[in-house]
């Protein structure tokens, strides 16, 4: 299984080799597929910023609503008898949502260390600078790298209890088997009493969901096509992006919201020495954005040996931050 969040340490491969090997493996499989973690190069990051500002893309605002307006409820759930703790954020980015929680905890003079984990050292230094200006008394230990390696590092640096944040509905970008493995692995790395807060995008009116990923301006389409351009740039490939079309589906029963690229003609694409043939209308499976029912969430928690302590929904009940305890 190729996990979205696995590490290259076992293989010793560098980043480009790993990228090449994943792309070749994905295009060699039937149906053809890509790994959506590769969407986020510099251009991909910029397009994702645009997606988050689209009126149709409700996820960011929903979770922001929770962090902005239910901060006390969040804080009260994670405080547990005021014992000192480490607040670890997986994929912290600019900490746009979590900074409301950080501010609240600092104002209450709570004893905690914020440990943002991100693959991008650049983002972490921007975040460090922002936090040192806005919350100068906050204790920050930034950890650059893969989630699980950095979680191990966090555990070796400090033995305090841990509260792990995994926000943004990112869990939805794993298929169900991957999300199971991911949560199970987190459970193994945490200690009894530690907490995990995961943001889940909930099943809702199917039109609302489909619109969020099928915007009329074609921003999501360009987000997908950018991965082909990235392969051209970094792996000496010759994708003609005008001959691929974005196609989005949502299955309200399973909750799978999937994006594909459709080959508009019979064509072949060269990547280094490898040639891939596409039939007309052949699909590349690009990304899953899984949506969850409350029951799906409790099944996932139970299967991965967590207990749900609290669920905090946004005001529309479209998104939930679910707080689990080991
Ligand atoms: C990052 N992730 C939660 C986004 C999502 O909603 O699945 C990625 C995305 N893909 C298309 N639009 C947004």
ipTM: 0.99
Q: How far is 220 from 51, CA to CA, in rounded Å? A: 7
**Confidence (pLDDT) at 67:** 98
Residue showing tokens 């006390």: 72
**Confidence (pLDDT) at 258:** 98
Report CA(81)–ligand 1 centroid distance (Å). 36
In this prediction the pTM is 0.92
For residue 201, the ligand 1 atom closest to its alpha carbon is: 6
CATH superfamily of 56-201+291-324: Vaccinia Virus protein VP39 (3.40.50.150)
**Confidence (pLDDT) at 8:** 46
**Confidence (pLDDT) at 292:** 98
**Confidence (pLDDT) at 151:** 94
Average pLDDT, consecutive stretches of 10 residues, N- to C-terminus, the chain (326 residues): 42 79 97 94 91 96 98 94 92 93 96 92 90 96 92 93 97 95 97 97 98 96 98 97 98 98 98 97 98 98 98 98 98
For residue 170, the ligand 1 atom closest to its alpha carbon is: 3
Report CA(106)–ligand 1 centroid distance (Å). 31
Report CA(180)–ligand 1 centroid distance (Å). 19
**Confidence (pLDDT) at 14:** 77
For residue 48, the ligand 1 atom closest to its alpha carbon is: 13
Q: In the 3-class helix/strand/coil scheme, how is the chain assigned residue by residue?
A: CCCCCCCCCCCCCCHHHHHHHHHHHHHHCCCEECCHHHHCCHHHHHHHHHHHHCCCCCHHHHHHHHHHHCHHHHHHHHHCCCCCEEEEEECCCCCCCHHHHHHHHHHCCCCEEEEEEECCHHHHHHHHHHHHHHCCCCEECCEECCHHHHHHHHHHHCCCEEEEEECCCHHHHCCHHHHHHHHHHHHHHCCCCCEEEEEEEECCCHHHHHHHCCCCCCHHHHHHHHHHHHHHHHHCECCCHHHEEEEEEEECCCCEEEEEEEECCCEEEEECCEEEEECCCCEEEEEECCCECHHHHHHHHHHCCCEEEEEEECCCCCEEEEEEEC
List, by residue range, all CATH 3.40.50.150 domains of the chain: 56-201+291-324
């Amino acid at each position: 299984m190729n996990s979205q969040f696995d590490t290259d340490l076992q293989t010793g491969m560098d980043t480009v080799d790993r990228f090449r090997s994943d792309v070749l493996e994905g295009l060699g499989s039937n149906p053809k597929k890509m790994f959506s973690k590769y969407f986020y190069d510099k251009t991909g990051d910029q397009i994702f910023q645009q997606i988050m500002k689209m009126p149709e893309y409700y996820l960011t605002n929903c979770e922001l609503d929770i962090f902005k307006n239910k901060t006390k409820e969040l804080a009260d759930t994670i405080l547990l008898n005021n014992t000192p703790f480490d607040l670890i954020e997986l994929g912290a980015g600019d900490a746009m949502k979590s900074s409301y929680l950080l501010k609240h905890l600092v104002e209450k003079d709570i004893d905690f260390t914020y440990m943002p984990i991100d693959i991008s050292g650049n983002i972490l230094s921007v975040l460090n600078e922002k936090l040192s200006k806005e919350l100068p008394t906050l204790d920050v230990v930034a950890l650059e790298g893969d989630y699980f390696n950095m979680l191990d590092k966090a555990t070796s640096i400090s033995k305090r209890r841990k509260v792990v944040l995994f926000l943004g509905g990112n869990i939805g970008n794993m298929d169900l088997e991957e999300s199971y493995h991911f949560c199970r692995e987190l459970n193994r790395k945490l200690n009894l009493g530690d907490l995990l807060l995961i943001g889940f995008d909930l099943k809702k009116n199917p039109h609302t969901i489909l619109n969020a990923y099928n915007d009329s301006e074609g921003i999501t389409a360009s987000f997908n096509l950018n991965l082909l351009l990235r392969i051209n740039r970094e792996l000496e490939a010759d994708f003609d992006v005008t001959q691929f079309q974005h196609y989005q589906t949502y299955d309200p029963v399973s909750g799978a919201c999937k994006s594909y690229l459709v080959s508009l003609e019979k064509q072949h694409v060269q990547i280094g020495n490898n040639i891939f043939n596409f039939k007309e209308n052949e699909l590349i499976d690009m990304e899953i954005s899984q949506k969850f029912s409350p029951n799906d969430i409790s099944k996932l928690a139970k299967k991965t040996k967590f207990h749900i302590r609290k669920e905090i929904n946004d005001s529309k009940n479209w998104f939930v931050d679910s707080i689990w305890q080991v």
